[in-house]
Amino acid sequence: MVEAGAHKIFPVKPLPAFAEQVRAQLKEHNQPELIRELRHEAIARTEEFDILCEVSIDPSKRPEQDFAPCPMCQPNKFIRGRLCYFPRLNCCAIIGHCCADKKQRDSAEHRFREASNRNWQEDFLLEALPLIPRKLEVIAATRGKAVEALRLHKKFRKDAHRLMQLLREISKNHGGRLQVQFEVESKAAVNERVTSGRFERLVDMNDYGVLSGLTALRANYDPVLELNDIESVLRVIEVGVESEFVMNYIIAMDVKHREWTYTVLNDIDSRRWRNFTLKLDDFCSFFDSENLVRLARWGEDSKNRNQVYVVDRMLNMGVRQVELYGAGSRTALSPGPQLSIPIPAWPELPKRRSGVRAG
C-alpha cells in the first residue's frame, strides 16, 4: 500500500494519456493500491467526480486472489471499477463501479457518455469527411450506368408492364425459379389407382433455373433518384480534404450538427450505397445472355401456359437488341454500353481503432 497523502495533485482534470498510463499499470499487476498517483484514503460517497475511464480487476492475478480495495466504501472491494477525477479534492482514485452516491453517479455517467460519444463521432468525422470528394467521383463515374438503367426500365414498363407483372408473379410463386408444372398422362395415373376408383392428379415439373434481375421487373425503380439523394447529402457535408480545415470544421460543429452529420454519413456507408449498388447490379443481371436464355427456354416450353418469347440479337454496328413478348405485350430494349461500366469501389474508412467508450 502507498503511504497516505502521497498521491499526485491534479489542479485540473488530467488528459486521456493519464488514464492510459493507469490502465497499463493495472494490466501489469491488477493492484490499484500500488499506483502512487492515486488517492487511497477514504473519500465520501457524496463527493462529486468525473469518470476518466472504466477499469476491471482480475482477482486471480492479485497476490491474495482477492478483490481490489475501494477508497469510497472501505472495507468493501470491487472487480469492476472506474478511474475518476475529484475536482474539489484535486485528485484521482479508482472506485468500485457502483460505490458512489446515486445522484453523483448518474450525473458523472451522463457526462462520461456524452464525452465518449463526442470523441467517437469526432474521430469518425476526421477520417470520413476527407473521403467525400472521392465518393463524389465514384458517384459521377456511376451516373451513366444509372441513367441507362432508368431509361431501359421506363421503356420496359411503358411498353410491356403486363409482361413485367407476369414475370414478377412467376418468380414470386416459385421462389425465383422458372418452372413449368404439368399433369403427367392421366392413363398411367388411372391404372395405378384402379382399385381405389379415385382419380389422383400427378404433377411433374420442368425447372429452368433462377431468373436473375428482379429489380428490372419492379413496378417502380429509379436509380438516378437514389444516386441524387446520396449525392445531395454528401454535397451539403463536403469540406474538402485539407486536414486543418476539416479539423476546424469539426470543432465548430454544435451537438445537433455533429450528430446529424455522423448519422447520415454512417447510414450512407453502412446501408444506402450498398443497397443502391446491389439493386443496380441486379438490374443489369436481367440482361445477361445466360439469364435471357433461361427465360426463353422456360417461356417457349410447350407446356407453359404463359408463353414468353425472347430474341437477343446484335444489330449493325454492335448494337444489341433484346425483344420480349408475353402477356399480350411486347418491347424491344437496346442496352447501351454504359450499362456494363463497372461501379468503382466505395472509399472505405480504415478499421476503427478500439477507443475508450462509455459502457
Stretches 74-82, 107-115, 231-239, 265-273: which one binds Zn ion (CB under 5 A)? 74-82
Nearer Cβ to Zn ion (26/217): 26
Stretches 43-51, 96-104, 261-269, 336-344: which one binds Zn ion (CB under 5 A)? 96-104
Judged by DSSP in three states, 241 sits in coil
Nearer Cβ to Zn ion (102/353): 102
**100 contacts Zn ion (rule: CB under 5 A):** no
Pick one of 96, 130, 223, 326: the residue that binds Zn ion (CB under 5 A). 96
Stretches 43-51, 99-107, 142-150, 197-205: which one binds Zn ion (CB under 5 A)? 99-107
CB within 8 Å of 204: residues ≥ 6 apart: 181, 182, 183, 184
Q: Which helix (H) or strand (E) holds 112?
A: helix 102-128
Pick one of 2, 34, 73, 356: the residue that binds Zn ion (CB under 5 A). 73
What is the C-alpha to C-alpha distance for residues 264 and 268, in angstroms, rounded to an integer?
6
- Interface with Zn ion in residues 76-95 (CB under 5 A): 76
Pick one of 68, 72, 250, 333: the residue that binds Zn ion (CB under 5 A). 72
Nearer Cβ to Zn ion (70/310): 70
- Interface with Zn ion in residues 110-139 (CB under 5 A): none
Stretches 59-67, 68-76, 306-314, 344-352: which one binds Zn ion (CB under 5 A)? 68-76
In terms of Cβ atoms closer than 10 Å to its own Cβ (0-12, 13-18, 19+), residue 34 is middle
Pick one of 91, 99, 125, 214: the residue that binds Zn ion (CB under 5 A). 99
Contact 39, 90 (CB under 8 A): no
Nearest-approach distance from CB 260 to Zn ion, in angstroms: 40
The C-alpha cell that represents 351 in the structure block = 478499421
Nearest-approach distance from CB 135 to Zn ion, in angstroms: 49
Number of residues located near Zn ion, criterion CB under 5 A? 6
Strand ordering across the sheet containing 50-56:
50-56, 80-86, 91-96
In terms of Cβ atoms closer than 10 Å to its own Cβ (0-12, 13-18, 19+), residue 160 is buried
What is the C-alpha to C-alpha distance for residues 249 and 236, in angstroms, rounded to an integer?
13
Pick one of 51, 53, 70, 308: the residue that binds Zn ion (CB under 5 A). 70
CB within 8 Å of 347: residues ≥ 6 apart: 131, 134, 135, 138
Nearest-approach distance from CB 55 to Zn ion, in angstroms: 13
Q: Give the binding site for Zn ion (CB under 5 A).
A: 70, 72-73, 76, 96, 99
